[in-house]
Structure 1
Amino acid sequence: MQRYIDPIETVDEVEEKSRRVLVWGATLFLVGLIEGGFIPWFTNPRMGLSAHLSAVQGGMALLIIGLAWNRLQLSSLQLRWTYYLNVAGVVLIWLALTLAAVLGTSSGTPIAGAGFGAGTAAELTVQVMLTLGAGAAIAGGALFFWGLELTTWRKKGKS
Protein backbone atom coordinates (compact mmCIF):
# COMPACT_ATOMS: atom_id res chain seq x y z
CA MET A 1 0.00 0.00 0.00
CA GLN A 2 1.39 3.37 -0.99
CA ARG A 3 1.47 6.08 1.69
CA TYR A 4 0.57 9.67 0.93
CA ILE A 5 1.92 12.65 2.77
CA ASP A 6 -0.74 15.34 2.75
CA PRO A 7 -1.89 16.94 -0.49
CA ILE A 8 -5.36 15.62 -1.22
CA GLU A 9 -5.67 15.71 -4.98
CA THR A 10 -6.70 12.20 -5.97
CA VAL A 11 -9.41 9.82 -4.87
CA ASP A 12 -6.77 7.54 -3.33
CA GLU A 13 -5.55 10.38 -1.15
CA VAL A 14 -9.10 11.17 -0.03
CA GLU A 15 -9.44 7.50 0.91
CA GLU A 16 -6.16 7.68 2.81
CA LYS A 17 -7.35 10.70 4.82
CA SER A 18 -10.60 8.88 5.56
CA ARG A 19 -8.62 5.90 6.82
CA ARG A 20 -6.39 8.12 8.94
CA VAL A 21 -9.36 9.81 10.59
CA LEU A 22 -10.84 6.37 11.29
CA VAL A 23 -7.56 5.17 12.82
CA TRP A 24 -7.31 8.29 15.01
CA GLY A 25 -10.92 7.79 16.08
CA ALA A 26 -10.50 4.11 16.91
CA THR A 27 -7.25 4.80 18.77
CA LEU A 28 -8.75 7.60 20.84
CA PHE A 29 -11.82 5.48 21.58
CA LEU A 30 -9.63 2.60 22.80
CA VAL A 31 -7.42 4.92 24.85
CA GLY A 32 -10.55 6.37 26.45
CA LEU A 33 -11.81 2.93 27.39
CA ILE A 34 -8.46 2.05 28.95
CA GLU A 35 -8.26 5.40 30.73
CA GLY A 36 -11.60 4.65 32.36
CA GLY A 37 -9.91 1.91 34.36
CA PHE A 38 -7.51 4.42 35.90
CA ILE A 39 -10.08 6.99 37.05
CA PRO A 40 -9.73 6.22 40.79
CA TRP A 41 -5.97 6.87 40.71
CA PHE A 42 -6.06 10.37 39.22
CA THR A 43 -5.40 13.32 41.53
CA ASN A 44 -8.91 14.48 40.59
CA PRO A 45 -11.06 11.44 39.73
CA ARG A 46 -13.96 13.65 38.53
CA MET A 47 -11.64 15.20 35.97
CA GLY A 48 -10.39 11.71 35.10
CA LEU A 49 -13.98 10.77 34.31
CA SER A 50 -14.25 13.87 32.10
CA ALA A 51 -11.05 12.92 30.29
CA HIS A 52 -12.25 9.34 29.84
CA LEU A 53 -15.60 10.47 28.40
CA SER A 54 -13.89 13.07 26.22
CA ALA A 55 -11.66 10.41 24.65
CA VAL A 56 -14.54 7.99 24.07
CA GLN A 57 -16.85 10.66 22.61
CA GLY A 58 -14.08 12.35 20.62
CA GLY A 59 -13.07 8.98 19.21
CA MET A 60 -16.64 8.28 18.16
CA ALA A 61 -16.88 11.73 16.56
CA LEU A 62 -13.73 11.05 14.54
CA LEU A 63 -15.10 7.66 13.50
CA ILE A 64 -18.26 9.36 12.22
CA ILE A 65 -16.21 11.98 10.39
CA GLY A 66 -14.04 9.26 8.84
CA LEU A 67 -17.07 7.31 7.65
CA ALA A 68 -18.59 10.42 6.05
CA TRP A 69 -15.29 11.74 4.67
CA ASN A 70 -15.95 10.69 1.06
CA ARG A 71 -19.20 12.68 1.04
CA LEU A 72 -17.52 16.01 1.79
CA GLN A 73 -17.57 18.52 -1.05
CA LEU A 74 -14.54 20.58 -0.11
CA SER A 75 -11.37 21.72 -1.86
CA SER A 76 -8.06 20.00 -1.13
CA LEU A 77 -7.05 22.79 1.23
CA GLN A 78 -10.41 22.70 3.04
CA LEU A 79 -10.17 18.91 3.41
CA ARG A 80 -6.70 19.23 4.87
CA TRP A 81 -7.87 21.84 7.37
CA THR A 82 -10.91 19.72 8.24
CA TYR A 83 -8.66 16.75 8.95
CA TYR A 84 -6.09 18.58 11.06
CA LEU A 85 -8.57 20.73 13.00
CA ASN A 86 -10.81 17.83 13.94
CA VAL A 87 -8.02 15.46 14.94
CA ALA A 88 -6.00 18.13 16.75
CA GLY A 89 -9.11 19.49 18.45
CA VAL A 90 -10.33 16.27 20.03
CA VAL A 91 -6.82 15.09 20.93
CA LEU A 92 -5.92 18.43 22.54
CA ILE A 93 -9.12 18.47 24.57
CA TRP A 94 -8.52 14.91 25.77
CA LEU A 95 -4.86 15.62 26.61
CA ALA A 96 -5.80 18.80 28.49
CA LEU A 97 -8.46 17.02 30.55
CA THR A 98 -6.10 14.13 31.31
CA LEU A 99 -3.40 16.58 32.35
CA ALA A 100 -5.95 18.41 34.52
CA ALA A 101 -6.90 15.10 36.16
CA VAL A 102 -3.26 14.24 36.87
CA LEU A 103 -2.21 17.69 38.10
CA GLY A 104 -5.46 18.62 39.83
CA THR A 105 -5.98 21.91 37.99
CA SER A 106 -9.32 23.69 38.24
CA SER A 107 -9.33 27.13 36.61
CA GLY A 108 -10.14 25.84 33.12
CA THR A 109 -12.80 23.44 34.37
CA PRO A 110 -14.27 24.91 37.56
CA ILE A 111 -17.10 22.38 37.98
CA ALA A 112 -15.10 19.16 37.60
CA GLY A 113 -12.09 20.81 39.22
CA ALA A 114 -13.91 22.15 42.28
CA GLY A 115 -11.84 21.68 45.42
CA PHE A 116 -8.58 21.20 43.52
CA GLY A 117 -5.84 23.56 42.47
CA ALA A 118 -2.38 23.50 40.95
CA GLY A 119 0.43 25.90 40.22
CA THR A 120 0.08 28.82 37.84
CA ALA A 121 2.05 27.14 35.05
CA ALA A 122 -0.06 23.97 35.22
CA GLU A 123 -3.32 25.93 35.29
CA LEU A 124 -2.21 28.09 32.34
CA THR A 125 -1.03 25.08 30.32
CA VAL A 126 -4.34 23.26 30.75
CA GLN A 127 -6.32 26.43 30.00
CA VAL A 128 -4.38 27.11 26.78
CA MET A 129 -4.71 23.48 25.64
CA LEU A 130 -8.46 23.48 26.32
CA THR A 131 -8.96 26.78 24.51
CA LEU A 132 -6.92 25.75 21.47
CA GLY A 133 -8.56 22.32 21.38
CA ALA A 134 -12.06 23.74 21.62
CA GLY A 135 -11.34 26.32 18.92
CA ALA A 136 -9.88 23.70 16.60
CA ALA A 137 -12.76 21.27 17.20
CA ILE A 138 -15.37 23.97 16.54
CA ALA A 139 -13.64 25.15 13.35
CA GLY A 140 -13.13 21.56 12.17
CA GLY A 141 -16.74 20.70 12.95
CA ALA A 142 -17.93 23.76 11.05
CA LEU A 143 -15.86 22.78 8.00
CA PHE A 144 -17.20 19.22 8.21
CA PHE A 145 -20.77 20.51 8.39
CA TRP A 146 -20.11 22.90 5.50
CA GLY A 147 -18.75 20.06 3.35
CA LEU A 148 -21.83 17.94 4.05
CA GLU A 149 -24.20 20.83 3.39
CA LEU A 150 -22.55 21.56 0.05
CA THR A 151 -23.34 17.96 -0.90
CA THR A 152 -26.99 18.50 0.06
CA TRP A 153 -27.27 21.81 -1.79
CA ARG A 154 -25.74 20.42 -4.97
CA LYS A 155 -28.16 17.48 -4.94
CA LYS A 156 -31.13 19.82 -4.47
CA GLY A 157 -29.97 21.90 -7.42
CA LYS A 158 -29.89 18.85 -9.71
CA SER A 159 -33.48 17.78 -9.06
Structure 2
Amino acid sequence: MPTNIATHQSHLLLFWGLLLFVLGLLIGLFIPLLPNPRMGLSAHLEGLMNGILLMVLGLIWPKLVLPKHLLTISFWLMIYACFANITAVSLAAIFNAGKMLPLAAGQVGAAWAELIISVLLVTLSLGILVALVIVLVGYYQHIKKTQFAFENQ
Protein backbone atom coordinates (compact mmCIF):
# COMPACT_ATOMS: atom_id res chain seq x y z
CA MET A 1 0.00 0.00 0.00
CA PRO A 2 1.63 3.27 -1.08
CA THR A 3 2.09 6.00 1.47
CA ASN A 4 0.69 9.47 0.90
CA ILE A 5 4.18 10.81 0.30
CA ALA A 6 4.89 8.15 -2.33
CA THR A 7 1.64 8.92 -4.14
CA HIS A 8 2.31 12.66 -4.07
CA GLN A 9 5.90 12.18 -5.29
CA SER A 10 4.62 9.87 -8.02
CA HIS A 11 2.35 12.62 -9.36
CA LEU A 12 5.19 15.15 -9.17
CA LEU A 13 7.58 12.83 -11.01
CA LEU A 14 5.01 12.43 -13.79
CA PHE A 15 4.53 16.21 -13.99
CA TRP A 16 8.24 17.08 -13.97
CA GLY A 17 8.96 14.28 -16.44
CA LEU A 18 6.34 15.59 -18.85
CA LEU A 19 7.69 19.12 -18.45
CA LEU A 20 11.24 17.94 -19.11
CA PHE A 21 10.05 16.04 -22.19
CA VAL A 22 8.38 19.21 -23.54
CA LEU A 23 11.56 21.21 -22.84
CA GLY A 24 13.52 18.63 -24.79
CA LEU A 25 11.13 19.01 -27.71
CA LEU A 26 11.43 22.81 -27.59
CA ILE A 27 15.23 22.66 -27.54
CA GLY A 28 15.01 20.53 -30.66
CA LEU A 29 13.46 23.48 -32.51
CA PHE A 30 16.54 25.61 -31.84
CA ILE A 31 19.29 23.11 -32.70
CA PRO A 32 20.31 24.86 -35.98
CA LEU A 33 20.58 28.23 -34.20
CA LEU A 34 22.96 27.09 -31.45
CA PRO A 35 26.72 27.77 -31.60
CA ASN A 36 27.31 24.04 -31.08
CA PRO A 37 24.46 22.16 -32.82
CA ARG A 38 25.84 18.73 -31.80
CA MET A 39 25.46 19.69 -28.15
CA GLY A 40 22.04 21.11 -29.01
CA LEU A 41 21.05 17.70 -30.30
CA SER A 42 22.42 16.16 -27.11
CA ALA A 43 20.38 18.60 -24.99
CA HIS A 44 17.28 17.74 -27.02
CA LEU A 45 17.83 14.01 -26.46
CA GLU A 46 18.67 14.48 -22.76
CA GLY A 47 15.36 16.27 -22.27
CA LEU A 48 13.45 13.50 -23.98
CA MET A 49 15.24 10.61 -22.27
CA ASN A 50 15.30 12.13 -18.79
CA GLY A 51 11.66 13.15 -19.15
CA ILE A 52 10.75 9.57 -19.97
CA LEU A 53 12.89 8.33 -17.07
CA LEU A 54 11.04 10.59 -14.61
CA MET A 55 7.66 9.50 -16.00
CA VAL A 56 8.55 5.80 -15.70
CA LEU A 57 9.77 6.37 -12.16
CA GLY A 58 6.50 8.17 -11.43
CA LEU A 59 4.60 5.06 -12.51
CA ILE A 60 6.55 2.66 -10.29
CA TRP A 61 7.14 5.06 -7.37
CA PRO A 62 4.11 3.98 -5.28
CA LYS A 63 5.36 0.38 -5.42
CA LEU A 64 8.72 1.16 -3.81
CA VAL A 65 9.10 -0.31 -0.34
CA LEU A 66 11.32 2.27 1.33
CA PRO A 67 11.32 4.43 4.44
CA LYS A 68 9.99 7.94 3.86
CA HIS A 69 13.40 9.56 4.22
CA LEU A 70 14.88 7.37 1.46
CA LEU A 71 11.88 8.08 -0.78
CA THR A 72 12.43 11.79 -0.28
CA ILE A 73 16.20 11.63 -0.83
CA SER A 74 15.88 9.60 -4.02
CA PHE A 75 13.01 11.79 -5.28
CA TRP A 76 15.01 15.02 -4.97
CA LEU A 77 18.19 13.44 -6.33
CA MET A 78 16.31 12.27 -9.43
CA ILE A 79 14.70 15.68 -10.00
CA TYR A 80 18.05 17.42 -9.54
CA ALA A 81 19.98 14.99 -11.74
CA CYS A 82 17.55 15.09 -14.66
CA PHE A 83 17.26 18.87 -14.70
CA ALA A 84 21.00 19.38 -14.10
CA ASN A 85 21.63 17.10 -17.07
CA ILE A 86 19.61 19.11 -19.56
CA THR A 87 20.98 22.35 -18.07
CA ALA A 88 24.63 21.27 -18.40
CA VAL A 89 24.26 20.08 -21.97
CA SER A 90 22.20 23.12 -22.97
CA LEU A 91 24.86 25.44 -21.53
CA ALA A 92 27.50 23.54 -23.49
CA ALA A 93 25.47 24.07 -26.67
CA ILE A 94 24.85 27.76 -25.99
CA PHE A 95 28.38 28.67 -24.86
CA ASN A 96 30.19 26.32 -27.27
CA ALA A 97 31.78 24.49 -24.35
CA GLY A 98 31.94 20.97 -23.05
CA LYS A 99 35.47 19.92 -22.12
CA MET A 100 34.01 17.00 -20.15
CA LEU A 101 31.91 15.98 -23.19
CA PRO A 102 34.62 15.51 -25.85
CA LEU A 103 32.69 13.20 -28.17
CA ALA A 104 29.61 15.38 -28.42
CA ALA A 105 30.98 18.86 -27.76
CA GLY A 106 34.40 18.81 -29.38
CA GLN A 107 34.98 22.32 -27.97
CA VAL A 108 36.47 23.97 -24.93
CA GLY A 109 34.69 27.11 -23.85
CA ALA A 110 35.29 29.88 -21.35
CA ALA A 111 36.66 28.75 -17.98
CA TRP A 112 33.54 29.88 -16.07
CA ALA A 113 31.24 27.95 -18.45
CA GLU A 114 33.40 24.85 -18.23
CA LEU A 115 33.37 25.05 -14.42
CA ILE A 116 29.57 25.28 -14.23
CA ILE A 117 29.12 22.46 -16.74
CA SER A 118 31.68 20.26 -14.95
CA VAL A 119 30.10 20.78 -11.53
CA LEU A 120 26.66 19.96 -12.93
CA LEU A 121 27.90 16.83 -14.72
CA VAL A 122 29.81 15.45 -11.73
CA THR A 123 27.05 16.14 -9.20
CA LEU A 124 24.25 14.82 -11.41
CA SER A 125 26.21 11.64 -12.14
CA LEU A 126 26.71 10.92 -8.46
CA GLY A 127 23.13 11.91 -7.62
CA ILE A 128 21.48 9.77 -10.25
CA LEU A 129 23.57 6.73 -9.31
CA VAL A 130 22.69 7.03 -5.62
CA ALA A 131 19.01 7.63 -6.41
CA LEU A 132 18.75 4.69 -8.78
CA VAL A 133 20.43 2.32 -6.34
CA ILE A 134 17.88 3.38 -3.70
CA VAL A 135 15.02 2.90 -6.21
CA LEU A 136 16.40 -0.50 -7.23
CA VAL A 137 16.50 -1.64 -3.59
CA GLY A 138 12.97 -0.30 -3.01
CA TYR A 139 11.61 -2.07 -6.07
CA TYR A 140 13.38 -5.29 -5.14
CA GLN A 141 11.73 -5.10 -1.71
CA HIS A 142 8.38 -4.75 -3.50
CA ILE A 143 9.12 -7.87 -5.56
CA LYS A 144 10.05 -9.84 -2.45
CA LYS A 145 6.91 -8.67 -0.67
CA THR A 146 4.60 -9.59 -3.55
CA GLN A 147 6.36 -12.91 -4.13
CA PHE A 148 5.91 -13.81 -0.46
CA ALA A 149 2.20 -12.91 -0.68
CA PHE A 150 1.84 -14.97 -3.87
CA GLU A 151 3.54 -18.02 -2.35
CA ASN A 152 1.26 -17.93 0.71
CA GLN A 153 -1.99 -18.08 -1.28
Residue 125 in structure 1 maps to residue 140 in structure 2 = no
Q: Residue 46 of structure 1 is aligned with which of 22, 34, 38?
A: 38
The one-character-per-residue Cα deviations of 1:43-78 (angstroms, maximum 9, x if unpaired) are 100001001100100000000000111100000001
Q: Which residue of 2 aligns with 1:33?
A: 25
Q: Which residue of 1 aligns with 2:87?
A: 95
Q: Residue 76 of structure 1 is aligned with which of 45, 68, 71?
A: 68
Q: Residue 104 of structure 2 is aligned with which of 98, 112, 123?
A: 112
Root mean square deviation of aligned Cα: 1.3
Q: TM-score, normalised by structure 2?
A: 0.92
Residue 85 in structure 1 maps to residue 77 in structure 2 = yes
Structure 1: distance between partners of 2:77 and 2:48: 18
Q: CA shift at 1:113, angstroms?
A: 1.2
The one-character-per-residue Cα deviations of 1:63-121 (angstroms, maximum 9, x if unpaired) are 0000111100000001001100111111101100000110111311001111x221111
Q: What letter corresponds to residue 103 of structure 1 in structure 2?
A: F
Moved over 6 A (4+): none
Q: What letter corresponds to residue 71 of structure 1 in structure 2?
A: K
Q: Which residue of 1 aligns with 2:129?
A: 138
Q: What letter corresponds to residue 131 of structure 1 in structure 2?
A: V
Q: What letter corresponds to residue 5 of structure 2 in structure 1?
A: E
Q: TM-score, normalised by structure 1?
A: 0.89
Q: Which residue of 2 aligns with 1:7?
A: none
Contact kept? 2:5, 2:68, Cα under 8 Å: no
Structure 2: distance between partners of 1:103 and 1:88: 22
Aligned identity (percent) is 29
Structure 2: distance between partners of 1:30 and 1:139: 26
Q: Which residue of 2 aligns with 1:149?
A: 140
The gaps in structure 1 that reach 5 residues or longer are 1-9
Q: Which residue of 2 aligns with 1:24?
A: 16
Contact kept? 2:14, 2:58, Cα under 8 Å: yes
